[in-house]
Chains A and B, each alone.
Chain A
Amino acid sequence: MIADQELAAIEGRGDEALLELSLGPHHPSTHGVFRMDVVLDGERVMKLKPVFGYLHRNHEKIAEGASYLASMPYTDRLDYIGSLTNNWAYALAVEKLAGIQVPERAEYIRVITAELTRLQNHASTIGFLTQEMGASGSPLMYSFREREKILDLFEALTGSRMMCNYMRFGGCRVDLPAGWLEQTKKVVGDFPRFLDEFESLLTGNEILLARTQGVGVLSKELAIQGGVTGPILRASGVNYDIRKVDKYGIYDRFDFRVPIGEHGDVYDRYMIRMLEMRESVKILEQALRDIPAGPIMDSKTKIRGFRPKAGEAYGRIESAKGELGFFLISDGSPNPYRYRVRPPSLINLTVLEDMCVGSSVADTIVIFGTIDIVLGEVDR
């Protein structure tokens, strides 16, 4: 971080000393259409202002004109890498609003799909991060190889690789096809070997260590103040995982740990994601072993003509990027009166400037990569 007096001294040198640059919106490393207006002194970043809205598709306004169920496919397109967790967050909020109970088998299916989504999300994030560090796509190829296996499972279950539209208010849309559990057990059984291979290539690597340790440190106080959630918060040392705090769904039945970091730098965030993938594998093994037979949908809830009572509710889950919440206000009609998405990626960006000021442009790209944003969520 640059002290105010130093900044004033540099700015007093005159305009020629500082370069104002716009990184984006079309940029190979900005994860989508995202723009950062930076003021540079040589290679060092003095000020950074994020500019977004280039993918603002007014999801909230469309939801006000559509019924509750019609907004479900739009939630897929928020965090488009993890569509099933978005579906679950929305279903959870509506179930809170209307007081709907979910049968057990559906809860197990939700946990299985959410953890599979977390696995492929973290693998892709690490792949993209190493690509921005200059590994030129090879770890990304490995990540996407595993991702394709998980997408095959999603396609067999929901009919679509990415935009799954699978959860319903009170359960899931269709039951597991024959042989899906065995196939999933096989994929989950192979996953630790992929993680070992991935880690042996990356974790002890000199270049990775040099580029990530000590870079982009985020202190605990700033993380809590800035409302940061997800792996970034835990890397800064705060023990707050909504799966353990709220115990939504049936997460209190599973035995898993929450990795916490010490330094709050880029390396910690990378390691937290690696460890979280291993914990997700543990949860998946337990869930796949214990899943009961039974109905997958609450029999008392109407799917067509769904009209919850007037009132409001806020429901949240721990998605792979942080806390994803939905705030719904109902006035008794089939359409929501107010539909609001609490996007983790947008709020995690609040501290981007504090993390990047004082580092070089190359480090800014790496720090930005670890925040792991998805523009569909930032702009909605």
Chain B
Amino acid sequence: MDADLKMELSRQGIFTTTLEEIYNWGRKSSVWPLTFGLACCAIEMIATTMARYDLARFGAEVFRPSPRQADLMIVAGTVTKKMAPQVVRLYNQMPEPKYVIAMGACAISGGPFKQGYNVLKGIDRYIPVDVHIPGCPPRPEALIDAFMLLQKKIAAQSLTGAERPRYLHADEPSEFVVPEYGAHDLVPAKNEKLWNIIYKTPNGASAAGEDESGRD
């Protein structure tokens, strides 16, 4: 519908919408996160829910402790190899539609502890991540910004067509393989379908990767 017409009608008291818009508006305004603080970023996440930087006014009214009742998993803190199977298992237990925010440098790529024998270099090795927040720890305002970005992403999702989100495709998986403790490392070390390494060959073209994002 034409945007000006919509504005004009709403001034006259007639509210028009599409099914997609109102469905997404309902979903984005009540995203309930899972209480999943792992390390230092968890304290900033708690501070975001406290009186000064209230996150509840954005719809994240209650933080649910049970994954069956949550929509969003904010991975706040370092994911270690010992904890990784539990993280993936919790993600599998969340019902669709579900989203993941990787908060802090450790959840994105291992962070300052990247050279660790027990540190998983980024949670996106095993589960798909929607929003990444850099910082160590990111300020509460950054978490609110990421939350708003997620809301914009949800609002832009379409219900039909090829770009519809993962949970509306009948044949896309919503559960991912849970790693197991091996003798020296986790088995498998990463989920190959989710996480592809992009190498640059000496002449500058990228090899064996999915998208080029303009790195030099």
- Assess A/B contact in the complex (Cβ within 8 A): yes
| A interface, over-half SS | loop
| In the complex, per-residue mask of B50-76: 1 if CB is within 8 Å of any chain A CB, else 0 | 111000000000000100000000000
The reply to whether A375 and B86 form a contact with Cβ atoms under 8 Å apart is: no
The reply to whether A25 and B65 form a contact with Cβ atoms under 8 Å apart is: no
Of the listed stretches A50-58, A214-222, A243-251, name the one at the interface; the rest are far from the partner chain.
Answer: A50-58
Complex: chain A residue closest to B84, CB-CB: A54
The reply to whether B52 and A55 form a contact with Cβ atoms under 8 Å apart is: no
Which residues from chain B contact A161 at a C-beta distance below 8 Å? Answer: 44, 139
Which residues from chain A contact B65 at a C-beta distance below 8 Å? Answer: 27-28
Partner of A80, one of B40, B51, B83, B117: B40
Tell me the residues in window 107-121 of chain B with beta carbons closer than 8 Å to chain A beta carbons.
112-113, 115-119
CB of B144 closer than 8 Å to a CB of A: no
Known: A140-B50, A163-B136. A54 touches B82 (CB 8 A): yes
Q: How many residues of B contact A (CB 8 A)?
A: 32
Bound: A162/B139 CA distance, A: 10
CB of B42 closer than 8 Å to a CB of A: yes
Q: How many residues of A contact B (CB 8 A)?
A: 32
The reply to whether B52 and A57 form a contact with Cβ atoms under 8 Å apart is: no
CB of B39 closer than 8 Å to a CB of A: yes
CB of B179 closer than 8 Å to a CB of A: no
CB of B46 closer than 8 Å to a CB of A: yes
Known: A32-B37, A32-B39, A80-B43. A57 touches B80 (CB 8 A): yes
The reply to whether B42 and A62 form a contact with Cβ atoms under 8 Å apart is: no
CB of A93 closer than 8 Å to a CB of B: no
Known: A55-B77, A58-B118, A61-B117. A376 touches B39 (CB 8 A): yes
By Cβ-Cβ distance, the 7 closest A-B pairs, closest first, are A80-B40, A28-B65, A144-B50, A57-B113, A54-B83, A58-B116, A56-B118
Would you give 15 A-B contacts (Cβ < 8 Å), ordered by A?
A: A26-B36, A26-B86, A32-B38, A32-B39, A33-B38, A53-B118, A55-B38, A55-B39, A57-B78, A58-B116, A58-B118, A62-B116, A80-B43, A144-B47, A147-B47
B interface list, Cβ under 8 A from A:
35-40, 42-44, 46-47, 50-52, 65, 77-78, 80, 82-83, 86, 90, 112-113, 115-119, 136-137, 139
